[in-house]
A and B are shown apart, each in its own frame.
Chain A
Amino acid sequence: MKKTLFAAALFATAAMGALAPASAAPVTYKIDPAHLSVAFIVNHVGFSNVIGRFNTAAGDVTFDKDAVEKSAVNVSIDTASVDTNHAKRDDHLRSPDFFNAKEFPKLTFKSSKIEKTGAKTGKLYGDLTMLGVTKPVVLDVTFNNEGVSPASKLETVGFSARGTVKRTDFGMKYGAPAIGDEIQLLIEAEAVKA
């Protein structure tokens, strides 16, 4: 009798486990600085668009492949690492006219919500903090790949993000609108399992 009850309980437990939806725990990944590109495009007095980038950034991704909306992204960018391929202009971008790098050495993004819009696409909602001002931003994100990278042999997740912010919303008013107010953001990132 005892054996029968034990077998029934074991069966019931196993059955419940089988019926429950498969749910992998979110995995934390660290953004690989060698495969992180944070670039921006800004209009220059109507004649062309200047492309710049930040060379130093760090961050982490908490990725849940079975429930992408539960994932999260935190990125911190060194504003002094701004690079537009022109030393004098970069000095100006570091000055109080623009990024004010000495007073505000970091530019941060912290996600608040991810909304799935397709098999590999989504909207990444979060707070961007620049010049001491925090504003909500939305990025269109594409989850490119997930798995063991053939290059590094490490568990890797890769994504691309695109979005637009208005710099004057953050108090960066110098030269606007001749030097574009709307800044296009282009982010390409790989993150490896921590």
Chain B
Amino acid sequence: MSNLLHDPFVQSSVLPLLLGLVAVGVLHRLAPGRLLAVAGIGATFLAVFALVVGVPALPPPSSMGKVFWSVAGGFVLGVVADAVGVKGRAGSLLAAAWLAASLVWIALPALDTPVAFATLLVLLLVGACVVFGRTGSDDGQRGNAVAPAAVLLALALAVGGTALIGSSASIAQMALALAAATGGFLLWNWPVERHGWGVSGRVASGIAVLLAGVLALFTQTEAAVLLLALPALLAERVGRRLPLPDSGLGRAAGGAVVTVLTVLPALIAIGVAYLLGGAEASPY
């Protein structure tokens, strides 16, 4: 069992998927309303981080340590905001402030070249698109989480795959664990969308941006290929334009189609990263 838990493949796929399913399920049972369940993604990310990388010291000496404590802070912020009913633009602004502060904190040691400043600017812009992205109705009265969860799935997969090819294993593991936890959340919302996205959901989306920041600023990975995954941000618009009937079957099919279409740009980004990396298949 212990060996299984230390297997990198299990740590970044099966384990976070199961933990995500359980965490979302527990929050679904315990918390009133539909918004808090998505906090299961952040909780799973933190648990897997503690297992794979360890709980970093405070104050954290490295960028990955800053990611952990930023996510921990964002998790608390999201849960509290959703519990007290912060919604709409106020919720987006709260998540945006958290994400911007976290990105700047993480990026500070690397801001020694114009390229690094430009990278931070791009990350802030993408972060703004992620947290202010449309999620359909945000009133928590009916489920609207598939499109933003599909975006998070795509971004996390893109970061994880690119990091894996770029020889940054712990970033890859954590991003793939984030994708798997999001998969667990998506399973709870298919074929029927049960949950909202709320501030906790926007914070969860921000985790992918934070990992992309570490990848772009502190490794030699070709992180620019991640820009190819950005069409995934159009998931909600794609979902609204699908010519499907407004029935249970139609909505179930819509959720599946949106998820598949949203993941495609991420796969393209990973493919390009693979080609740029010399298409080297064997590890070392």
Contact = CB atoms under 8 A, between A and B. Distances in A.
A33 B166 CA distance: 31
Contacts of B214: 96
Interface stretch (A68-76, A83-91, A116-124, A142-150): A83-91
Secondary structure dominating the interface of A? loop
Interface in B229-284: 280, 284
A92 B167 CA distance: 5
A95 B61 contact: no
Interface residues of B, number: 22
Interface size class of A (residues with CB under 8 A): 20 to 34
Interface string B155-187: 000000000001111110000000000000000
A71 to B, nearest CB: 31
B90 to A, nearest CB: 34
A137 B119 CA distance: 39
A132 interface: yes
A133 B56 CA distance: 13
A95 B167 contact: yes
B169 A97 contact: yes
A166 interface: no
A96 B218 contact: yes
Interface in B111-170: 166-170
A133 B62 CA distance: 11
A94 B220 contact: yes
Nearest to A84: B284
B64 interface: yes
Residue among A100, A103, A104, A133 facing the most chain B CB atoms (10 A cut-off): A103
Given A91-B219, A92-B167, A95-B219, 18 more contacts: A88-B280, A88-B284, A91-B166, A91-B167, A92-B169, A92-B284, A95-B169, A95-B171, A96-B62, A96-B171, A97-B168, A100-B62, A100-B218, A103-B110, A132-B61, A173-B53, A174-B53, A175-B169
